[in-house]
Amino acid sequence: LFQDGKIYVNGVLKGEATKENLEEIKVYNEKMREWTKALHSNMFETMKRIIDDMFGDHGSFWQNLSGPFWKTVKAYGPDSEPTKPATSPKEPEKPEKPEKPLPKLPETMPLPEPPSFCKP
């Protein structure tokens, strides 16, 4: 914090503010804005990929709606009688699909170095 020409870090007086200090904090704040934008972009892209993996055309959500349960549900039809259930022939069991590896998360930018007057 710059106040009355002095620098305070976490409430502790660090000394008089100089032009170099003001330039350092300006550069640091700009780098932090860039870092924040990159972080938000990475988070958005990661969440988009996860949602697409679940709900995209061949996502895991839709694959789970195509099993024997859903075939039986579809066999009932909208006008069926719940007391007279229709059945569908049992399908031969398919071998389990290998698990899909977790997606690799994008690399995040390293945090900018704090200004010299913020270091212990």
Residue 74 is assigned to a structural domain of this protein = no
Tokens read off for 104: 């690799």
Asked if residue 95 belongs to a domain, the reply is no
- Given this model, what pLDDT does residue 53 score? 80
In a domain, 69, yes or no: no
**Domain contains 81:** no
Q: What is the dihedral of CA 38, 41, 42, 47, to 10 degrees?
A: 160
16 lies in a domain? Answer: yes
What pLDDT was estimated at residue 70? 64
43 occurs within a structural domain: yes
What is the rounded distance in angstroms from the CA atom of residue 54 to the CA atom of residue 107? 22
Counted domains in the chain: 1
pTM: 0.59
- State pLDDT tens for residues 95-116: 666 676 766 777 888 999 999 9
Instruction: Compute the average pLDDT of residues 23-29.
Output: 95
Domain span including residue 16: 1-56+108-120
pLDDT band with cut points at 50, 70 and 90 for residue 81: low
